[in-house]
Each structure stands twice: as structure tokens, then as C-alpha cells.
Amino acid sequence: MDMKRLNEIITNNEKVKILYEGHPVWIERIDNDAKTVQVRILDTQEVKGVYVKELVNTEDAVTMKY
């Protein structure tokens, strides 16, 4: 995910499923300068700081065709 899209989601109060390492997360805080976010992993309630580029917006996921 990129910073622009993340800020759009937050600003527009969109309800989008966002994943970190395959786990759904809740965005708790954004650091636009460092391009990082604090996320709560919903499966475990663990709070982590991660780079925005490590997040996956499931709306943006590409489906592979074989």
C-alpha cells in the first residue's frame, strides 16, 4: 500500500480490510514523514509499528489468472 491510498482511506472513513503479513489490522496511528503506521493485529491484539508499504489493501489485491 502507499501513503496516498492509506490517507484517502482514513480521511474518507472508508471501511477497507487491510492486512499485514496476512492478518487483518486496525490502523491506530500514521507517521507520514517516516511512512510508518502503528497497527493493531486483530487476531492477537498485538500492536506493532510497520512500514506502510508492508500493508495490503485487499481492494487493491491482484487476482492471478492461470
- pLDDT for the residue numbered 49: 98
- pLDDT for the residue numbered 64: 43
Question: In whole angstroms, what is the distance from residue 56 CA to residue 66 CA?
Answer: 22
Q: Kindly give the pairing relationship between strand 23-31 and strand 18-20.
A: antiparallel
In this prediction the pTM is 0.82
For each of the domains in the chain, give its residue range(s) and CATH number, in order of start.
3-57 (2.30.30)
Helix, strand or coil for residue 9? helix
Q: Where are the alpha helices (DSSP H) in the chain?
A: 3-11
Which parts of the chain sit beneath pLDDT 50? 64, 66
Q: How far is CA 37 from CA 5, 62, 63, 66, in A?
A: 13, 23, 26, 35
- pLDDT for the residue numbered 60: 66
Using the 8-state DSSP alphabet, how is residue 62 labeled? P
- pLDDT for the residue numbered 46: 98
